[in-house]
Amino acid sequence: MALTASETDDKPMNPTPARPVPIPTAETAHYWGAALEGTLKIQYCPACARHQFYPRRFCTDCLSEEIVWVPASGSGRIYTYTVCHVAGHPAFEAHVPYAIGLIELDEGVRMLAGIVASDLGHLAVGARVEVCFERVSSEIALPMFRLTGGDRVAADRTDRPDHT
């Protein structure tokens, strides 16, 4: 059965798909809960005095199960990055170009995250960054990173609670 003109006018032809969001697991729930409160937390192993990220049930160095969550400094350096000129998902098309980087925190762990910058030309391997958070749903805030110092204008994008 064909749709009438009035039936097609009420429906968008190409709606933007919802942004994919992480699904917390038993291992990551504490991490996502802290991020929602604006705190970056990583795991620490008291047995071998080592930080680790990505969250796991045990220490990947000494295999101890006595892992604890500790606040991270939120500061680090860009280890490597890429500027995406083609959206990796249709929900990101409005954000092209955008940067994704491997950030080495001062604690020594590396994490993959978005990098917000008003001028992507200011990004450089070794540049200092600090964590900021982008709330993408009522249950998830994504840790993102912004350059410290001169390129702070981009922080406005992540500090708005309605940004999706």
Nearby residues of 72 by Cβ (< 8 Å), 6 or more positions away: 40, 41, 42, 51, 105, 106, 107, 109, 131
- Structural domain boundaries, residue 102: 29-159
Burial of 36 (0-12, 13-18, 19+ CB in 10 A): middle
In a domain, 22, yes or no: no
Residue 48 falls inside a structural domain: yes
What token pair was written down for 44?
A: 């620490």
pLDDT of residue 18: 83
Cα–Cα distance for residue pair 72/34, rounded to 1 Å: 11
In-domain check, residue 14 = no
Answer whether residue 1 is part of any domain.
no
Q: Could you tell me which of 53, 140, 123 has the C-alpha nearest to residue 84?
A: 123
- Residue 21 counted as domain residue: no
The neighbouring-strand residues paired with 43 are: 52, 69
Does residue 9 belong to any structural domain of this protein? no
**Confidence at residue 154, expressed as pLDDT on a 0 to 100 scale:** 40
Under 8 Å between Cβ of 42 and 69: yes
CATH of the domain at 148: 2.40.50.840
Closest residue by Cα to residue 66 from 89, 88, 91, 48: 48
Is 6 within a domain?
no
Question: Does some domain include residue 13?
Answer: no
Answer yes or no: pTM beyond 0.85: no
Q: How many domains does the chain have?
A: 1
- What local confidence, expressed as pLDDT, does residue 161 receive? 38
Q: State how far the Cα of 115 lies from the Cα of 81, in Å rounded to an integer.
A: 9
Length of the chain in terms of residues written: 164
* Residue pLDDT, tens place only, 41-100: 999 999 999 999 999 999 999 999 999 999 999 999 999 999 999 998 898 898 899 999
Q: Please give the mean pLDDT across all residues of the chain.
A: 86
**109, amino acid identity:** V
